[in-house]
């Protein structure tokens, strides 16, 4: 395997991990309050994301942490 093959392989792995984080669908019933901070989750967010467990701020923090792990 040469250097270009390895670079392509690493790029594919990175893409797969990125897509895996992006398309995680919440499981279970939606919550009225965030499981992290206990703030209310807006009705529009609950309607848009079935099974929503996190408020917008906590979801953003989670995604930032997940990106750091890539």
pLDDT, one tens digit per residue, over 9-40 is: 888 887 777 666 555 666 678 889 999 999 99
Nearest to 30 by CA among 64, 62, 59: 59
Q: Are 14 and 21 in contact (CB under 8 A)?
A: no
Residue 45's φ and ψ, nearest 5 degrees, are -70, -40
Average pLDDT of the chain? 83
Tokens of 24: 């995680």
Both tokens of residue 54? Answer: 């996190």
Asked whether 40 and 31 are in contact (CB, 8 A), the reply is no
pTM: 0.61
């Amino acid at each position: 395997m040469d250097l270009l093959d390895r670079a392509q392989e690493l790029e594919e792995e990175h893409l797969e991990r990125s897509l895996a984080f992006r398309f995680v669908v919440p499981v279970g019933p939606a919550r009225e309050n965030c499981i992290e901070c206990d703030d209310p989750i807006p009705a529009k967010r609950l309607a848009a994301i079935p099974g929503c467990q996190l408020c917008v701020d906590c979801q953003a923090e989670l995604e930032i942490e997940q990106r750091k792990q890539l």
